[in-house]
Structure 1
């Protein structure tokens, strides 16, 4: 270890790239880990005073792995709450029915539409958050409400529509939008917490069953929770302490999930690229130190000692880099909390806390990644023969090993074959298969770069082939294939991924809107305007068709699963299924669908038809859906006549309607895309700069010879810069060609899947920007070592 430490001290420049790569990777993992660990599910603020809660029973998981719950019916919730009040230590047990309410301001819904779905509560439930009246009295009859304080702040701001300038006082009336339609309520009081609070019986009528009963307890919450479990049994799940995070609304959990996906992708890419950079750095360093390694072997060092020495050097660098990266990431994480919230990747009120476990894991991971990148180079160094120290010159060894040849050829053949077979791949899998083929071809190009660089260099330098400087640059680049490929590979990967990923997104987005609009059999639609959906009053009387979505639990084959269903108009009280849903549930015409509605009510609905023309997999009578899911909102009405004006609704073209979702999805996709491409480009710049700096610093004798042969200092610098730019240009061209070919295959797959022509969108601007950044980094890295040693090289010392 002492030898490794001394080597690192005296060869700091050679290890600088490895240090920066590991430090950057550790900083990213440390910061992302702090963000992820801080983003744990949390109970909403409205349960702050309820240290123990009971959730309705779970009946399995949905298709995304999230728990599927059955609501309590109103009588069930009342009975359970009544029984819980008798448990020692329970001061109060309050059912918390939740419903949609949104204030109307200037004739349209105001505030956060998504959050308004959870803004309606019963007045007794205000005690679960510790909220109290600030003025007036509680509501006692329908049409009365306590308005939450519009100036409140916290994890759940007052989204219900009021703002500090829209204060209401007891005795005033307020216009609100509910699932039934616009209503006028009388404000009887104001509270110091967010939301709208109506009498308990009114809240139960407006909600789709009850999911949570909050408890106000005296004494130890854990002991009370244990007693409550014995009373509740299998009728619900008792939550206490951190388990109360299960009370977090699904919409908030989805936001956290999106943020987690970005963090996971960033960490995964960082780990992968860090291994790549460290491996490339160690490999180049090992090649430059062959004579030094041969000298060690000549004085008696065994292959094992050589391996251990090189691994120890990397361990020293990794340990030092980790000590730099961990605090950098820990300090940067809190600064990213705000941008993540604004980007919709973390819920409002998200803060970053100290996460020592995440910091320790990042440090250990950085060291492990560094060692993983050094293993192959250490193994190759241990095979250097002792006679290497006696060589007068250090000619570059073969750049292509048998393993690299095999992997590169297999990747090229596999990618080509997969592209050729795309027309025979099932339509639904063609896009995925095309992406896989692209990845194989890009990987093959990177592996075969030492072989492909030569012809590319000749082609690029053909116009200036008669120039002596161009000849020197061309032959120097071709002769040092390993060095050139090491510089070109990062640029190749960065440009290829930029062209492929941004091209795929742009190509698909270009046709997605038209394709979705074609699926809507109407030119005009009635869509929500500032609201999360259309209220019943807005849909009623409209000329056109619509469906009322709901979620039901269906029992079949001894199991219970959740299904998305749609309420459709019609006098029949039966169910209509698509063939796929009927086969999945094992049902046919005349059978009964055994289900639980959104409000927890059990029912049997006869199957009156199985048809491919059903607008949803399970269609139910709209009147029944409205009866059992009072908070359900209609997403859109397909108009076939002049619309009737309604609050919270607007008319637009079908194309404009689908574009709303496309823009929302596209914003997230582009955010993910540019973050990942930014990381890729950043590491590519680091790899290019590191490779060029190491290569140039290791060629002092070569440049000294060039100066002694009569070249001026400027000419020597020109040669270094030209070689660097030539390598980047070759890598850029190779990456662009491979990505364009792969992107064409993906475009053809999308066109076949959509059965229409799809224009190819190639983002040359983004690719050019990445290539330019790589070129600038290579130029600066190739010149800087020359500037430091220009005087020495010029004097011939």
Structure 2
């Protein structure tokens, strides 16, 4: 270990690339895992002052993997509240009906539409969050409200599922939400799903007694278990953020291994004489392997020691951008996570040792006679394993692309990405073979000039060096073209396909609201439906289905997918009531799984909203309504998803380009520094520093151009295959969309880094010779 420390200390420049790669990799992992560990479910602030909470019973998980609950009816909730209030230690049992309400200012709804779905509450439930009146009195009659901000006596415009209304503010609260009289809340909400218990004494003892009293009629939560009540919308935001952080950790670790492996491989090639000398004085292959592992371990420890605090400092700085991007909930704060930092440090060591494995094995086979070699000509770049793996990668990737049209829709995207990875890795492995013809082709116009000849011949002679530079560029440009092209093409084709399914030229759509109110829909010319849901029990299994409330129905109409259900359905509505209805028809064009009469849906779901109106005439003005073309309407959801995807792309491309720049810079710095004798001979032949810089810059640009051409070509073939599959699936031609600006920027960054990295050793050598 002492020898390894001395080698690293005296030749740190040779290990600089590994050090930076590990430091940055550990920093990325430490910051990402700290953010992830800090973003755990929390008890909603509105319920934080209540130690024991009783939730309505679960009936399983919905399609998104979240628990699905049934509501208590108002009568069931009242009976259960009475039983709970009688328990020892319970000071109050408070039901919490919730409903949709948004404030309207200047004729426009305000606030987050998703949050507004449960912003309305009964005044008695304000105690669940410990909220109090700072002025005024509690609401007691319909049309009265208490909320934060407006002074008592003022009047505010609001929007509910029924339509616009004007409420009188009776009190000002010290917490968020709209609080109305309990009877008003019961009329506006669809049943009750939560009862809070305020207690005196031991909360856990009260919780145990509540479990006995509730039985199977609900779930009692206390302590940390209350975190399970975090809203699905918040949980989804955390999930999206977690996906980005996981991708950052995976990419950071993978690319760090790649950079360490390429750096160690190049370093080992440059140290063949040194290693040969060690073999000549008696070093065994095992000792050579242990020496390289020890050197890398020293560098990894140093890099981890820098990366851990770097990540810990970066995590709090990244929290606000994540919240602004909708990838973490409002109020998210980073907390100290020692386990995440320790794990990141350990992962850095594992990554470094994994990266040096191949180089150490190859170095152990260096013969002692290499200590006597003086030729600078590189050993053959293509080994037998490299040939085999490269050819297999190309063949497997091509086979997947050919088979793409025969696969299911769900499997096609994964198969296409797998094919692209195989082709890109195969091209990177075969790069030394492909470089020669590409170099001759690209340098043909400058073949007669002195600089062009030197660039061409130097590149052909140093195929291993050029391949080491081109490989990271190939992978980065290839994935950049593939990912940006895939996202843009799918977005374009999805919009055209979905717009064709909308049977109207114009659509009355929500504007700043989660859906259209009854007042907004009334009198609009066209077709619409109320969007709700119902729980259907068949053979002991309960499943949630989407429900559309439409005019002109007398029974239950099923979509074609549910044609096998019984002819009489047991339904449980959002307000908790149950009924059995006959199935009267099955339709192929049903907008939801189940169609019911509109007035029936409204009766059992007071908060139901209308998604849109398919217009067949001029639309009338209404609060929260705007008129869009069919294409613009379907583009709303596509753009919402696209914003998240673009954030993912930007972060992943930034990480990829950053590591690519590091790999290119490290390779060229090491390789150019090792060519001092070659450049000295060029100067003795009459070339100046500017001439040498032109040669090194030309070689660097040629390597980047080679990697860009190979990566772009592979990605283009994959995109063409993907477009063919999409066209066959939707039955119409689509345009292949490639954001050239982003991809050209990626290539230009790589080129700039390469030119600078190739020029720095030349300028340093010139300064040192003065």
TM-score class normalised by the smaller sequence: over 0.9
Equivalent of 1:386 in 325, 344, 368:
368
* Structure 2 residue aligned with 1:790: 766
Give the distance between the partners of 1:299 and 1:86, measured in 2 at CA.
89
* Structure 2 residue aligned with 1:452: 434
- Flag structure 2 segments of 5+ consecutive residues without an equivalent: none
* Structure 2 residue aligned with 1:56: 56
How many Å apart are 1:339 and its aligned residue? 1.2
Give the distance between the partners of 2:692 and 2:509, measured in 1 at CA.
68
* Structure 1 residue aligned with 2:561: 580
* Structure 2 residue aligned with 1:157: none
Does 2:697 correspond to 1:697? no
**Secondary structure of 1:606's partner?**
strand
Correspondence 1:209-358 to 2 at 5 A: 209-358=191-340
Give the distance between the partners of 1:770 and 1:651, measured in 2 at CA.
40
* Structure 1 residue aligned with 2:176: 194
Q: Quick check: 1:32–1:333 contact (8 Å CA) kept in 2? A: yes
* Structure 1 residue aligned with 2:741: 765
C-alpha deviations, 1:589-644, integer Å up to 9, x for none? xx222232222223322222223232222222222222222111111011122333
Correspondence 1:593-612 to 2 at 5 A: 593-612=569-588
Correspondence 1:705-716 to 2 at 5 A: 705-716=681-692
Q: Quick check: 1:431–1:750 contact (8 Å CA) kept in 2? A: no
Give the distance between the partners of 2:336 and 2:253, measured in 1 at CA.
22
Give the distance between the partners of 1:530 and 1:482, measured in 2 at CA.
58
Does 2:393 correspond to 1:411? yes
Q: Quick check: 1:428–1:753 contact (8 Å CA) kept in 2? A: no
C-alpha deviations, 1:771-795, integer Å up to 9, x for none? 1111111111112122222366x69
* Structure 2 residue aligned with 1:672: 648
* Structure 2 residue aligned with 1:92: 92
Give the distance between the partners of 1:553 and 1:242, measured in 2 at CA.
29
* Structure 2 residue aligned with 1:15: 15
Equivalent of 2:707 in 720, 726, 731:
731
Q: Quick check: 1:435–1:746 contact (8 Å CA) kept in 2? A: no
How many Å apart are 1:463 and its aligned residue? 0.9
Q: Quick check: 1:740–1:762 contact (8 Å CA) kept in 2? A: no
302-311 or 553-562: bigger deviation: 553-562
C-alpha deviations, 1:47-94, integer Å up to 9, x for none? 121122112222211222211112222222222222222223222111
Q: Quick check: 2:516–2:609 contact (8 Å CA) kept in 1? A: yes
Give the distance between the partners of 2:374 and 2:620, measured in 1 at CA.
91
* Structure 1 residue aligned with 2:729: 753
Q: Quick check: 2:30–2:341 contact (8 Å CA) kept in 1? A: yes
* Structure 1 residue aligned with 2:757: 781
Equivalent of 1:169 in 152, 155, 167:
152
Q: Quick check: 1:91–1:217 contact (8 Å CA) kept in 2? A: yes
Give the distance between the partners of 1:556 and 1:391, measured in 2 at CA.
81
234-243 or 255-264: bigger deviation: 234-243
Pick closer, same or farther for the CA change 1:476–1:469 going to 2, 3 Å: same
Give the distance between the partners of 2:395 and 2:695, measured in 1 at CA.
37
TM-score (norm 1): 0.93
How many Å apart are 1:662 and its aligned residue? 2.3
* Structure 1 residue aligned with 2:113: 113
Does 2:643 correspond to 1:660? no
C-alpha deviations, 1:714-753, integer Å up to 9, x for none? 3333322222221111111111222222222222222222
Give the distance between the partners of 1:444 and 1:621, measured in 2 at CA.
60
Q: Quick check: 2:237–2:328 contact (8 Å CA) kept in 1? A: yes
Pick closer, same or farther for the CA change 1:478–1:228 going to 2, 3 Å: same
Equivalent of 2:489 in 484, 501, 507:
507
116-125 or 195-204: bigger deviation: 195-204
Does 2:104 correspond to 1:128? no
How many Å apart are 1:106 and its aligned residue? 2.2
Give the distance between the partners of 2:281 and 2:695, measured in 1 at CA.
38
Q: Quick check: 2:377–2:461 contact (8 Å CA) kept in 1? A: no
Give the distance between the partners of 1:595 and 1:480, measured in 2 at CA.
74
* Structure 2 residue aligned with 1:154: none
Give the distance between the partners of 1:618 and 1:504, measured in 2 at CA.
35
RMSD over aligned CA atoms reads 1.9
* Structure 1 residue aligned with 2:142: 142
Q: Quick check: 1:438–1:743 contact (8 Å CA) kept in 2? A: no
691-700 or 651-660: bigger deviation: 651-660
How many Å apart are 1:219 and its aligned residue? 2.7
Pick closer, same or farther for the CA change 1:478–1:529 going to 2, 3 Å: same
C-alpha deviations, 1:662-701, integer Å up to 9, x for none? 2222221111111111111111111100111111122233
TM-score (norm 2): 0.96
**Secondary structure of 2:336's partner?**
coil
Give the distance between the partners of 1:469 and 1:528, measured in 2 at CA.
65
* Structure 2 residue aligned with 1:155: none
Does 2:521 correspond to 1:539? yes
